[in-house]
Structure 1
């Protein structure tokens, strides 16, 4: 008779659910920070399920537990083990993991089956199988998932217990390098070198902001508004297309954009929109009067002409949608500082478009992809020129890093491993470095939203361009060191 497994009888679901939900707020060291994946499964739940489906329920071993009372006590002991296993802080407790592995060996006659996940996605199941001392096999049809799984479960064991090769790093700490400590140290060190080298090459495109007292501050993001020419012949202004004027909604520190129509300096007879920063709650945008774009159309801030979105789409397909800088977001003392745009920052953003860009097209129709209707028909159309310069620079530097690692006495396979992780860091940075990213003005955030907050690529009217050389969320410094 086939033995019943623990999962078939009872599990400590409250503890498993609690720890699975808690994982959503854990960032440092969590696999979810390696690369974005849509349907990532909770690590705690996978760990518990793998253990419980391999370990016998005490009722299946009547020779050891002949009475229901003894079976209940043994089941409670196993549940206690699971409750400790699912706690995030215990994932590196070697003694606890060895205890769990011993229970698995006892129930499988010392020969546990290999774990196969043919559609492994974010790699949760093979990763947790490996953590429990089991042999794991993973595959997927999506190349991103395959790369995530390689980075999680294939590469780390190859370089276990090895010291880092970055010059001077291993000598700076006289100790034994355990597990993936050396690999992680090299990823951080070479990632920092790559970021510093990028600043040497393109740092002039990311100037600091000048505060009211004359001091300098690192820019977090530049907030832009897309523009089209007002169709009213009597107006003809470059009308901003803005979803919301709000910049920050933190109580007592509210900030928003205030548009006004002024004469153009070079052509007094022409008008343009000027953007200032407001803080007075009395003049703050309301739900009724916030932004210039709705689901039905747009409104000109100068002449109040209502414009159908069909016109905006036609302008986009004719490559006549422009952009105008609305605000600069700088780092303050535990707060965001919102500044009016200056010529210095406008000029810095006007980078020349790289010439060696991939020419791949967006799908003509795809569920959730709405940008094609506005003339964005290629992937490169989703980025500003400055973002494209940064992307190509980082991509070139990954190749440079690989050569440096080999020169620093690393093997080719080790250089490939570090390059893989740095390539994934660039990919994560890219999620917050497109012209479809928007600014989250909510009190707890005040940050750039990632493009893939949902599985769609919608049109973004006012967009946030992150400073990829800074230290805020979504920058290369954060993604390569986390």
Structure 2
């Protein structure tokens, strides 16, 4: 019978927990920056668990460690190895990883078992299995998770130690290690696509003017869906907003303040930006939409969800720009709505967009009740223009690479 593994006896939990918690603040190079995924497992914990469940506890090898004191010293040595292994900065320390792989090989008689993860999610377990030199197999029912795993653990090994193929890039360096060549290609082709897309649709994404008169890039446009208030005495286009908050960081609070004004065209809502914490939205007045309905910001009428759904089915929902999030000097700047920016976004839907029908109903995905029956209904016309442009640019990459090299790359990916 196989002896006990290290995980069955003791682990340096304090070090593992500390490094797992520290990962939340690490951004550069961390898989969490590839795609946000709920319930993402900490890499440090997965690395430690995989190692400890394959490596023998010293008590399983009495011929090497006959006394309890010998076993204690060996266990401390293995714990020290784990404590170094879970540190984020050591994930590319090949000497340390070789040491860990040697321990696994020793405890498995040179034949470690493959690691199988049928619900891999964000890919933490198969990624760390690969890092420890193990054969990893992963899948998931969610196609987004499958795509993340392909990008994280399947494609990079196929291009390991290969130079980039972007024209002229391979000559900029002699030694391309690991996924450096692939990463350089991703950056280069990504920049090429961005530049080409900007030539075609850059005019749809104008810069914002800052209070000092300078211009800066817009990070995001914050919109509110609207519906006409059913109160006959009101009839305003009321915003449907979950929360007015834009940022809650202490000292940098920002929130939207709606106001009702009258003009020749009737009454309508305008938005300003508030920063005073004393006047900030509270649990009782934050947003206009709840679980059972909405509230009109003008007349305070209660509007049932059934009415909003009926208006959606009739195509009567609209949208108003509330604010722009602008790139500032090491901080975000929030600006009130700009009529020119709102008009720029109101373009016709681009031709040739796939208009497949969505399923009539799906768990946790009930936009169909609001009149969104096709996938294109989930996007604004400007978003569709961007998606169509990017899709049209992808085939052009073949011309950059060259047909022969393109065929070679395609075979390597298959």
TM-score of the alignment, normalized to the shorter chain, above 0.5: yes
Give the aligned partner of residue 147 of structure 1. Answer: 147
Give the aligned partner of residue 383 of structure 2. Answer: 387
Structure 1 residue 141 displacement after superposition: 4.0
Which structure would you say has the larger RCO, counting Cα contacts within 8 Å and 6 or more residues apart? 1
Structure 1 residue 342 displacement after superposition: 2.6
Q: Does residue 1:190 correspond to 2:189, yes or no? A: yes
Q: Does residue 1:48 correspond to 2:48, yes or no? A: yes
Whether the 8 Å contact between 1:245 and 1:290 is mirrored in structure 2 is yes
Give the aligned partner of residue 171 of structure 2. Answer: 171
Give the aligned partner of residue 162 of structure 1. Answer: 162
Q: Does residue 1:312 correspond to 2:314, yes or no? A: no
Give the aligned partner of residue 321 of structure 1. Answer: 317
Structure 1 residue 289 displacement after superposition: 3.7
Pick which of 99-108 and 141-150 moved more.
141-150
User: How does 1:286-301 map onto structure 2 within 5 Å?
Assistant: 286-301=282-297
Whether the 8 Å contact between 1:259 and 1:275 is mirrored in structure 2 is yes
Q: 2:270 aligns with which of 270, 274, 288?
A: 274
Distance 1:169 1:95 in 2: 29
Distance 1:402 1:384 in 2: 30
Q: CA RMSD in A?
A: 2.7
Give the aligned partner of residue 407 of structure 2. Answer: 412
User: How does 1:439-478 map onto structure 2 within 5 Å?
Assistant: none
Give the aligned partner of residue 231 of structure 1. Answer: 230
Distance 1:60 1:190 in 2: 52
Give CA deviations for 1:356-384 in whole Å, capped at 9, x if unaligned. Answer: 23333333333322423222233322221
Distance 1:253 1:37 in 2: 27
Instruction: Give aligned pairs, total.
Output: 414
Distance 2:136 2:276 in 1: 59
Structure 1 residue 191 displacement after superposition: 0.6
Q: Secondary structure at 2:405's aligned position in 1?
A: coil
Q: Secondary structure at 1:329's aligned position in 2?
A: strand
Question: CA 1:15–1:416 in 2, change beyond 3 Å: closer, same or farther?
Answer: farther
Distance 2:296 2:385 in 1: 33
Whether the 8 Å contact between 1:406 and 1:415 is mirrored in structure 2 is no
Whether the 8 Å contact between 2:162 and 2:177 is mirrored in structure 1 is yes
Give the aligned partner of residue 87 of structure 1. Answer: 87
Whether the 8 Å contact between 2:360 and 2:368 is mirrored in structure 1 is yes
Give the aligned partner of residue 439 of structure 1. Answer: none
Question: CA 1:392–1:51 in 2, change beyond 3 Å: closer, same or farther?
Answer: same
Distance 1:10 1:280 in 2: 52
Give the aligned partner of residue 451 of structure 1. Answer: none
Whether the 8 Å contact between 1:155 and 1:417 is mirrored in structure 2 is no
Structure 1 residue 353 displacement after superposition: 1.0
Gaps of 5+ in 2: none
Q: 2:337 aligns with which of 322, 336, 341?
A: 341
Distance 1:73 1:253 in 2: 52
TM-score where L is the length of structure 1:
0.78
Distance 2:4 2:282 in 1: 62
Pick which of 363-372 and 66-75 moved more.
363-372
Q: Secondary structure at 1:410's aligned position in 2?
A: helix
Gaps of 5+ in 1: 421-482
Distance 2:278 2:39 in 1: 44
User: How does 1:22-101 map onto structure 2 within 5 Å?
Assistant: 22-101=22-101
Distance 1:137 1:249 in 2: 41
Structure 1 residue 82 displacement after superposition: 1.4
Distance 1:99 1:41 in 2: 24
Structure 1 residue 107 displacement after superposition: 2.1
Give CA deviations for 1:85-142 in whole Å, capped at 9, x if unaligned. Answer: 1111111111111111222222223333333334433332322222122233334444
